[in-house]
């Protein structure tokens, strides 16, 4: 029988590579490792890569297995899900993995200027009704700018056509350099060893016959970012463990 949530939270509280700072306490508890992740935790000068909304942490751990010369931090607010990846990393004695349980809306409180090299967004909720909740909105891009290196890399891997079209529009409007883009990753010839890491939710999308989309782009530090003002067709399916999609045809 698998562990329940309370047991998982107890494990997480004892794990040396897990840091828990949810919004409810972050104002009262200073995060002293900001700007010192490499010095105080990883004990090296390797680049830091974040997975935001890491869920079970499959991508965080999968990337860390492949890149011993980089440091990886999975970020999510749901500790019971994160427990899976955190436990795998602990069992494998992985020294280049950490997990941060917090709200992504305040992610810039935990990293200093230029401290992070790359961001992965893997199957984020497309948040079709509210633009400021989308992890590829300019609202979040401005936060990422606060701690990404100049021309830091952002990866988006998604099942959502809405999220893909919105992100592509945001990138094009703001003239952000695109490194790679495809609306059908596994039939594009581009799915290398890294892009082929499959999360729990990704496999569900694939089993339903959905195409996986991928964008890799740079986020320059300079310039004012503008939100795209376009109509996008909503995803018309019900996602696993997500609320039912709106019946409206378009959204801004």
Distance between CA atoms of 74 and 92, rounded to whole angstroms? 16
Residue 43 tokens read as 């004990």
Neighbours of 169 (CB within 10 A): 15
Name the residues annotated as catalytic. 125
Reference 228, options 212, 207, 252; nearest CA is 252
Strand 116-122, strand 148-158: pairing: parallel
Distance between CA atoms of 102 and 99, rounded to whole angstroms? 10
Distance between CA atoms of 146 and 126, rounded to whole angstroms? 23
Q: Helices 58-66 & 79-91, crossing angle to 10 degrees?
A: 20
Strand 250-251, strand 232-233: pairing: antiparallel
Helix (H) or strand (E) holding 250: strand 250-251
Residue 234 tokens read as 């909503």
CA neighbours closer than 13 Å in the CB half-sphere of residue 188: 17
Q: Helices 5-14 & 79-91, crossing angle to 10 degrees?
A: 50
* Coil, helix or strand at residue 154: strand
């Amino acid at each position: 029988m698998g562990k329940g949530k309370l047991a998982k939270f107890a494990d997480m509280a004892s794990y040396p590579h897990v840091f828990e700072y949810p919004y409810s306490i972050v104002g009262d508890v200073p995060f002293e490792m900001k700007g010192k992740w490499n010095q105080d935790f990883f004990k090296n000068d390797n680049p830091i890569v974040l997975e935001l909304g890491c869920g079970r942490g499959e991508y965080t751990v999968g990337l860390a297995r492949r890149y011993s010369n980089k440091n990886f931090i999975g970020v999510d607010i749901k500790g019971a899900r994160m427990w899976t990846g955190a436990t795998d990393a602990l069992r494998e004695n992985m020294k280049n993995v950490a997990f941060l349980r917090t709200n992504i809306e305040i992610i810039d409180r935990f990293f200093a200027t230029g401290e992070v090299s790359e961001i992965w967004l893997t199957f984020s909720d497309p948040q079709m009704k509210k633009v400021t909740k989308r992890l590829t909105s300019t609202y979040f891009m401005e936060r990422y700018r606060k701690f990404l290196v100049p021309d830091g890399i952002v990866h988006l891997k998604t099942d959502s056509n809405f999220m893909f079209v919105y992100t592509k529009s945001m990138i094009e409007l703001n003239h952000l350099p695109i490194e790679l883009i495809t609306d059908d990753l596994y039939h594009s010839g581009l799915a290398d060893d890294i892009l082929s890491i499959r999360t729990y939710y990704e496999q569900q999308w694939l089993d339903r016959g959905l195409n996986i989309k991928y964008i890799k782009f740079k986020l320059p530090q300079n310039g004012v970012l503008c939100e795209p003002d376009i109509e996008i067709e909503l995803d018309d399916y019900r996602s696993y463990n997500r609320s039912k999609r709106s019946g409206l045809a378009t959204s801004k």
